[in-house]
């Protein structure tokens, strides 16, 4: 489906900084070196006053304010304006900012109905892709972040952000967006000096991440291996687009809201069946002991992942599907010594739940998977948050060979994405577009601040699968 869009300008926005900066990539960063970028779109409705509905308001007010505040924000977040490079003398890549480096900033316009892009009901998954900028990468260099601002005349605009995962995790990228929004919203960008709130000041020292086993070098070496010939090695920073290509053909994108009231119902359902559903296992440790309560994260991940698995299985009746579920854990407060909340970089480790591949499609799969997510989280305190980090890649490759589809999670309800007001109101919708590159659940808080508040889930699935998922999702509630 063609998405009518016009590119007005391709600009570069640079921080006004003469400081040169080099940062090493830690083992947390190295895991994502050639992984697909994280792509988000923030949709904003234009204010109600009449002059804001004139396109000149967008080009003369909104765009200049976004550019000026972005330049100021980048002064504090210098790594985002730089590039990932791999010097010949270095065993691993680094982030390098040189004065004059800049971020790509695209200004576009679309004639698509703004109400259409705001809807939660299923729509062509490819449409969102036109609202996102590319992120340049090659063998020798990779950009860190890029922006695209798209006007929907008289209705609203979107801010599409594409970020390299080897430089920022979800917590870091949303901290930057909050800082940018705060500076844009205030009048501080008109002053020669400015300051951010302490909670938005990035901590850039990568030395706080300890790596006594030099896992970073092992991961760097793994990235040099030719997937077709293990005897050959080549340094490259090019994103593996052919591996992580968006799966948008014959697919739809949809958003589902789950109220806290419905989440409480799901929690009670799991707890009520806790002792009677044990997946035919003899549980010998107390990690399965019934808790007093469950987190919203546990139930929404278990519920949505099992609905997805059952929908895929039902659509492909003649093929027995296998699934696994993985989630990223923020390690900042779990490391020894602890890393500050403002640490800017990757500080997450992926953990895969110890569920059988067939658990997800069982009648009580929701309860089984919820119990096993709880067990995995409890075991983090016992085994350590870095347990399995050295075998993560090899285990994933084994799952792929066995035909196991990994369902992942992007985002968090704790990031507060609907708080990002650039001066023209809070977002009307926020979307993690890059979930279309895998079987991934996007999670955030909802934009509601009333009794309907809860969590928001974004998905991309094949047309038929989405129909089945929607029925299962609503019936289960």
Active site residues: 165, 421
**Rounded alpha-carbon distances, angstroms, from residue 308 to 32, 351, 464:** 25, 19, 12
Pairing status of strand 440-445 against strand 454-462:
antiparallel
Q: Closest by alpha carbon to 355, among 375, 384, 341, 340?
A: 375
| Cα 449 from Cα 438, distance rounded (Å) | 31
- The helix (H) or strand (E) run that includes residue 76 is helix 63-76
Q: Closest by alpha carbon to 418, among 49, 125, 39, 44?
A: 44
Residue 354 structure tokens? 């110890």
Q: List, as one string, the DSSP characters of 158-183.
A: EEEEEE-TTT--HHHHHHHHHHHHHH
CB 118 within 8 A of CB 128: no
- How many other C-beta atoms lie within 10 A of the C-beta of residue 253? 24
Residue 293 structure tokens? 């309560």
Q: List, as one string, the DSSP characters of 229-258.
A: EEEEE-------TTTS----TTEEEEEEEE
């Amino acid at each position: 489906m063609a998405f009518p869009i016009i590119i007005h300008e391709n600009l570069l926005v640079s921080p006004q900084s003469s400081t040169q900066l080099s940062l090493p990539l830690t083992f947390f960063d190295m895991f994502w070196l050639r992984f697909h970028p994280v792509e988000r779109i923030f949709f904003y409705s234009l204010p109600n006053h009449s002059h804001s509905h004139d396109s000149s308001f967008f080009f003369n007010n909104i765009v200049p304010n976004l550019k000026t505040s972005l330049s100021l924000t980048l002064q504090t977040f210098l790594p985002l304006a730089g590039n990932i490079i791999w010097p010949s003398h270095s065993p691993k890549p680094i982030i390098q900012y040189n004065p004059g480096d800049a971020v790509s900033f695209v200004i576009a316009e679309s004639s698509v109905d703004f109400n259409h892009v705001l809807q939660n009901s299923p729509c062509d998954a490819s449409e969102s892709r036109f609202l996102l900028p590319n992120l340049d990468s090659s063998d020798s260099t990779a950009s860190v972040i890029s922006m695209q601002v798209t006007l929907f005349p008289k209705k609203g605009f979107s801010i599409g952000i594409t970020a390299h995962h080897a430089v920022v995790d979800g917590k870091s990228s949303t901290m930057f967006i909050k800082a940018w929004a705060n500076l844009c919203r205030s009048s501080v960008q008109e002053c020669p000096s400015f300051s951010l709130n302490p909670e938005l000041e990035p901590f850039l020292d990568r030395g706080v991440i300890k790596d006594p086993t030099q896992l970073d070098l092992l991961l760097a070496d793994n990235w040099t291996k030719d997937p077709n010939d293990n005897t050959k090695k080549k340094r490259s920073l090019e994103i593996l687009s052919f591996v992580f290509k968006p799966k948008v053909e014959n697919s739809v994108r949809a958003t589902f809201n789950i109220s806290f009231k419905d989440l409480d119902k799901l929690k009670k359902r799991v707890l009520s069946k806790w002792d009677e559903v044990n997946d035919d296992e003899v549980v010998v440790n107390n990690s399965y002991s019934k808790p007093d309560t469950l987190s919203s994260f546990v139930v929404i991940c278990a519920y949505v992942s099992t609905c997805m698995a059952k929908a895929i299985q039902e659509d492909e009746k003649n093929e027995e599907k296998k699934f696994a579920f993985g989630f990223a854990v923020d390690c900042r407060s779990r490391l020894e010594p602890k890393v500050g909340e403002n640490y800017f970089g990757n500080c997450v480790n992926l953990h895969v739940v110890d569920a059988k591949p067939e658990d997800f499609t069982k009648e009580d799969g929701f309860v089984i998977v919820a119990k096993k997510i709880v067990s995995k989280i409890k075991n983090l305190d016992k085994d350590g948050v870095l347990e399995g980090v050295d075998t993560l890649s090899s285990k994933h490759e084994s799952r792929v060979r066995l035909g196991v589809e990994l369902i992942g999670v992007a985002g968090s309800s704790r990031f507060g994405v609907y708080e990002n007001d650039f001066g023209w109101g809070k977002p009307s919708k926020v979307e993690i577009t890059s979930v279309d590159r895998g079987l991934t659940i996007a999670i955030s808080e909802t934009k509601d601040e009333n009794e309907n508040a809860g969590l928001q889930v974004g998905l991309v699935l094949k047309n038929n699968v989405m129909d089945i998922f929607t029925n299962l999702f609503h019936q289960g509630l």
